[in-house]
Amino acid sequence: MAQIDLKLKERSYPIVVSKNNSSQLLRLLKKEVKKNKLFVFYDANFYALHERVLAKELAEKFQYYEIVLPSCEITKTEKELSKIYSYLLSENISRTDFILAVGGGVTTDLVGYAAATTLRGIKWGAVPTTLLGMVDASIGGKTGLNHKAGKNLIGAFWQPSFVFSNIRYLQTLPHRQIMAGFGEIVKYAGLIGNDMLTLAEKFINSNDLYNETMLHRLVILSSDYKAKIVKADERESGKRMLLNFGHTVGHAIEKSLGYGKLLHGEAVILGLSAAVNLSVISSNASSKTLSRYIKLIVVSMGYVPHKKLDGDAVLKAIKGDKKRIDSKQKFILLKRIGKPIITDSVTQTEVSESINQMLYLYKHGVNNV
């Protein structure tokens, strides 16, 4: 078990990464719930596989309520949020009660936002059950839902009281979900540098995507890096923007296809390909400097299901990205592995070229990269 402390003054909290130590989750909850109500929101897929054990433990210790949410990106809607509000209010939730989100990034995003906005703020905890949730979505207090105008355009910063990642839960994930989470790990490899890159290479080349030892280490390194970034910039006014590496194009891909056609982490892998292309095209980096990282991205792209993407539709979606400042589009690029930069000094022609290069690679693949 490892514990990373995300220190934000009065909003500080632990991120616990465990190899199936559920007793630690109970200890975390006992500090928060005490004699109050515990409202647990489960992802439907997780509930079908693990509810019998976890719910039994929680129901024995707490005044326990549960609700199951659909397992897909389209769950992050006002319609589902309204159902959560109705349930909580019908059960007379109070500000001293506690909400627990058990599921992937969709679950923690939506339930976290419900916690932030019910009675002007209820304490909550996150139990991410997907690799993507463990390394990214559950950490840092970003909560929200999607709108037809774009992904995550409605939301709030509302830090959890803890994050508990049980690596054992990853053993029941479909192969595709593991690779979607690996998309965020590929992002961290570019941001962190050689240590993370080496571990990511070893993992993807091992032919064992369920290796608990490597997964445990990858989740710890990713969580630690994100915790440090969030500590330095909780509200994404500066350094935290680095965590959007690959996401500007990735989110645009999701929107242009229709949410759910590709998993978020799959779209991020494609977005990372476009980002490294743009890094080279804009003369911020050389292909030689980024060669190892480019190879990791290319290998990862081989796991992304093929969908028909339109470059013009992706460009149009980028223009609606919520991270624009004063109408200028911010891009996270690399100067070298482990040296990201934030810039708005790229042209639309360069962005278009970077996307077209990514689309060609996505469609045709490469040999001997």
The arithmetic mean of pLDDT across residues 94-98, rounded, is: 97
Between 80 and 10, the more confident residue is 80
At 34 the pLDDT is: 87
Give CA–CA dist 107/119, Å, rounded.
20
Query: Is this prediction's pTM over 0.85?
Result: yes
Reported as a pLDDT band with limits 50, 70 and 90, residue 259 is confident
Q: Where are the domains of the chain?
A: 2-172, 175-364
Reported as a pLDDT band with limits 50, 70 and 90, residue 321 is low
Reported as a pLDDT band with limits 50, 70 and 90, residue 223 is very high
The percentage of the chain sitting over the pLDDT mark of 70, rounded to a whole number, equals: 97
Between 244 and 236, the more confident residue is 244
Give CA–CA dist 291/277, Å, rounded.
11
> Taking 50 as the threshold, does the pLDDT of residue 368 lie above it?
no
Q: Scanning the structure block, which residue is given the tokens 């390394």?
A: 135
CB 275 within 8 A of CB 333: yes
At 52 the pLDDT is: 85
User: CA angle, corner 178, sides to 174 and 182, nearest 5?
Assistant: 165
At 46 the pLDDT is: 95
User: CA angle, corner 202, sides to 305 and 299, nearest 5?
Assistant: 30
Domain 175-364, second-level architecture: Up-down Bundle (1.20)
> Taking 60 as the threshold, does the pLDDT of residue 369 lie above it?
no
- The CATH fold assigned to 2-172 is Rossmann fold (3.40.50)
At 323 the pLDDT is: 53
Reported as a pLDDT band with limits 50, 70 and 90, residue 21 is confident
Lowest mean pLDDT of 20-29, 239-248, 314-323, name the range. 314-323
The arithmetic mean of pLDDT across residues 161-183, rounded, is: 97
At 239 the pLDDT is: 94
Reported as a pLDDT band with limits 50, 70 and 90, residue 152 is confident
The arithmetic mean of pLDDT across residues 322-341, rounded, is: 81
Write out the two tokens for 277: 């292309």
The arithmetic mean of pLDDT across residues 321-340, rounded, is: 79
Look at phi and psi of residue 236 and say left if phi exceeds 0, alpha if psi is from -120 to 50, else beta.
left
